[in-house]
Amino acid sequence: MLADLSRRLERFPRRVYSHAPTPLQPLPRFSAELAAQCPAGRGPEVWVKRDDMLGLFPGGNKTRKLEFLVADALAQGADTLVTCGAPQSNHCRITLSAAAHEGLECRFVIEERVPGSYHADAGGNHFLFRLMGVEAITVVPGGSDMAAAMAAVAADVARLGRKAYVIPGGGSNAVGGLGYVVCAQELQRQCDEQRLDFDAVVLGSGSSGTHGGLLAGFTALGVATPIVGIGVSRDPAQQEPLVFDEARAVLALLGDGGQGGTTLARGAVQCVGGYWQPKYSLPNAPMVEAVQWLARSEGLLLDPVYTGKAMAGLVGEARRGRWANADRVLFLHTGGLPAAFVYQDTLLAPPAR
């Protein structure tokens, strides 16, 4: 199945920005401390897949998606990438990094989901926007039609006699999702080579490209390991349909959309809510605990918007006994480190009691 999937992926243009594979790393101190807080003192051995170490500074899950998206842009003769995100968007930063690497221009539409949260001179990713030379940033209010806003930017580019390639938020479409089909292949090879089995994969589930792409890859490979998405902006009723549609779109692009091929069961999509409130990107106590805990027990740095809340979900579900009988759970680290530097006061605060 691995060889067959490789042949299907070879049909799509791809730029390679990383040395594969990203490491699989056990977290023994964290696992032992977590187990002591689980029912009957039994919890899973937690491992991490270090997709924060992917290429395009300073790494993260969007790199895998951009390998296919930027290749598609170049194949179409584009000279400008246009994408969108919230203030401190990791996706925008990595897209800009890819544009710089390829000699392309790059423009953003930033959605100010929390009023007053956009500051052009902020640190973190905003510093990197300026350093890497973003051509233009358009700021729109929360709830704006982002597709329409990016189309307007693309039209501005066209009036300059250039050609824009529009990348959706998070790089989450069928083309971008191919990056996490590649990740599914990579992970399966690592498990075979290292003789590892995981009872679940846990990741942050947001724009759905990572979750849906990995699910599509697992489905195409016949891998039954459940993928549990911790919502970073929505609860399951809203998140699960997005992931399901993304996975189906990726499978259809691969030519494996159920017409005589692999079908995707609706129940294969597992999402958990409740760990992202009060709102996307706003801190909460479980996130702060998770970020501090991993930093101080394993020297592993999480970000406050995605991986911090996703790890808070893993911890919370473990404490509830979800993985009481599991041997190993794999956490997918999707990067996001620069955003941590604008949350310093929050992340250094004493833990909530």
The pTM for the full model equals 0.96
* Sign of torsion over alpha carbons 149, 155, 157, 162: positive
pLDDT tens-digit readout, 296-341: 999 999 999 999 999 999 999 999 999 988 899 999 999 999 999 9
Angle at 222 between CA 23 and CA 60, to 5 degrees: 30
Catalytic residue among 6, 31, 89, 205: 89
Q: What is the pLDDT of residue 258?
A: 44
Q: Are 231 and 272 in contact (CB under 8 A)?
A: yes
Q: What is the pLDDT of residue 58?
A: 86
pLDDT tens-digit readout, 11-38: 999 999 998 899 999 999 999 999 999 9
Q: What is the pLDDT of residue 273?
A: 98
For residue 274, what are its two tokens? 């409740």
Residue 168: pLDDT over 90: yes
233 part of the active site: no
Q: Are 254 and 8 in contact (CB under 8 A)?
A: yes
Q: Taking Cα atoms as reference points, which of 208, 282, 202 lies closest to residue 238?
A: 208
Backbone φ and ψ for 227, nearest 5 degrees, come out as: -110, 120
Residue 195: pLDDT over 50: yes
Q: What is the pLDDT of residue 326?
A: 87
**CB neighbours of 299 closer than 8 A, spacing ≥ 6?**
none
Q: Taking Cα atoms as reference points, which of 194, 180, 181 lies closest to residue 2?
A: 181
Residue 262: pLDDT over 70: no
Q: Are 105 and 99 in contact (CB under 8 A)?
A: yes
pLDDT tens-digit readout, 268-284: 999 999 999 999 999 99
Distance CA 54, CA 67 (A): 11
* Sign of torsion over alpha carbons 236, 242, 146, 123: positive
Bridge partner list, 343: none
Of 260 and 8, the one with more pLDDT = 8
- Domains of the chain, start order: 2-59+173-347 (3.40.50.1100), 62-171 (3.40.50.1100)
For residue 199, what are its two tokens? 């009872």
**CB neighbours of 344 closer than 8 A, spacing ≥ 6?**
none
> What is the length of the chain?
353
Q: What is the pLDDT of residue 1?
A: 83
Q: Tell me which DSSP letter residue 173 carries.
A: S
Q: Tell me which DSSP letter residue 336 carries.
A: -
Distance CA 311, CA 334 (A): 11
Region 143-171 average pLDDT:
98
Bridge partner list, 83: 108
Q: Are 176 and 66 in contact (CB under 8 A)?
A: yes
Beta strand residue intervals within the chain, DSSP E: 24-26, 45-50, 80-85, 105-112, 136-141, 164-166, 200-205, 227-231, 270-272, 328-333
- DSSP for 67-97, written as a single string: HHHHHHHHHTT--EEEEEESTT-HHHHHHHH
